[in-house]
Chains A and B, each alone.
Chain A
Amino acid sequence: MSSTKDLKQRIKGTKNTSKITAAMEMISAVKMRKAVAKVIAIRPYAESALQVLEKVSQAVKLENIAIFKTRTVKNVLIVVVTSNRGLCGSFNTQIIKEVRSQIEKLEAKNAELNNIEFLSIGKKGDKMLRRFGKKIVASYPDIVSEPSMEAISSVSRLLRDEFDAEKYDKVVLVYTDYISPMVQKTRSRRILPLSYGAVEDELDEMDKHPQPSYINEEIKTEKLEKVKKLESEYTIEPSPEQVLRTLVPRLLRMQLYHALLESNASQEAARMLAMRNATEAAKDMIGEFTLAYNQLRQAKVTQEIAELSAGMAAVEG
């Protein structure tokens, strides 16, 4: 039976832990909001980039450009976005689950599939993939903590180069999509070969976030303009191909950047929830310990009184 001293110590320890978890919950909440704000901020860029792609695709046939061409899938690269730190519930295991189901799908669909390799963004995913004996060609832990278009450019360049060299015929991105603080969903998306539809899907995904009013207005006006625009012929300088060459890397970077932001928002949301649960569990534990402590103390007092009165009785008797 634990002594009152032990119990007191445990209560104190649990209280300290709960203070830390409560603080972590608050920090995650702030970080999550920041990441969500960034996702919203990228939308106008994404939309305009898509518009330009649409215009350019009227001048050149996208199917004739290598990076838009689908090939027989023999070698696949899967880009896995996870977190660098733990304590975020099942966030990372969910991603690995998605990766596994993705592998199964790829194997079922592509008869000529030869090899699947991985590129990891985030330490946790990296570790898990290694444990499963997967081949990781590159690992980028740093860009998780500070995602920026610049940081991502080396990843996107690597992807493009390997795709151009036909080392991979398909690149799939697996990440967690932030839907609300309580709901996050793992997603897989083909990012290479590029396709107009995939970028469009991405825009729809951004739409689910609450938009500041000014963006809504913009969408409306832009839809009206769309009808008009298709009629006018564009002068494209230096050439449509050249503009595509500028546009393509940016589209790819944008997709990676967006996935990373969604993943970070999800990660913080998951951590927030995990920490809230931990704080609550700590509260329950403190309750139980306090009860046990009080019972123990009560028992001790009762025992002492009983001993005292027994002693008195013996003396008087």
Chain B
Amino acid sequence: MKKIVFKIITPEKIVFDDEVYQITLPVREGEVTVLPDHIPYIAGLKSGEVAIRKGPKDEEIRLSISGGFIEFHDNVLLLLADTAEKAVDLDLERAEEAKQRAEKIMNEASVSDESYPTLVEMFDKEVTRVQLARKHRTHHRQAISTEDSAN
């Protein structure tokens, strides 16, 4: 089976580097899913969630990314993100706190403020992180409860 070499690269480090089957990306105008042998492709990304499947039937791996772009050719997909975090690494409470902080700062700031776009960017990022952390948590709970019923 053909696979895609997928790398998520941030200025700080390489967050993800593995062979995968399918990747769903938050592009500017919605979502795009990339499968092996996709045509060469470059796109801008918005803050959001990246979902990866290592095989057609494998469980999804989710990551939250904030802004960036992708480049795909010959089954190599490079994702250049400003930041990227795996769902497993996300702590819901911490993410929630950061979101509230961002919200507060944003409410206080006036729209004419020079740093407003930066704040919006920051807020978007935190919201995505919270969403992802929540999703991951419910997934995890479900997994546990099915295990329980099996016993």
Contacts and interface: CB of A to CB of B under 8 A. Distances in A.
The finding on whether chains A and B are genuine partners in a shared complex, rather than unrelated, reads yes
Given A153-B118, A250-B82, A55 B41 contact: no
B78 A243 contact: no
A52 B40 contact: no
A42 interface: yes
A52 to B, nearest CB: 5
Interface string B66-86: 011101011010101011000
A3 interface: no
Interface residues on B, range: 35 or more
A53 to B, nearest CB: 10
Given A157-B118, A236-B43, A250-B68, A52 B13 contact: no
A216 interface: no
Interface residues on A, range: 35 or more
B82 to A, nearest CB: 6
A238 B29 contact: yes
A49 B79 CA distance: 10
Given A44-B14, A234-B41, A52 B74 contact: no
Contacts of B67: 246
Nearest to A215: B14
A232 B40 contact: yes
Interface in A199-244: 225, 228-229, 232-238, 242-243
A153 B118 CA distance: 8
Contacts of A196: none
Given A235-B39, A246-B67, A45 B80 contact: yes
Given A149-B11, A157-B118, A246 B74 contact: no
A243 B14 CA distance: 22
A269 interface: no
Given A233-B40, A237-B43, A247 B71 contact: no
Interface string A231-266: 011111110001101110010001001000000000
Contact of B74 (A42, A48, A225, A254): A225
A233 B39 CA distance: 9
Given A234-B73, A238-B29, 6 more contacts: A42-B12, A150-B122, A154-B118, A229-B73, A236-B41, A250-B80
Q: What are the 5 A-B residue pairs with the smallest beta carbon separation, nearest first?
A: A246-B44, A237-B43, A234-B40, A236-B42, A232-B40
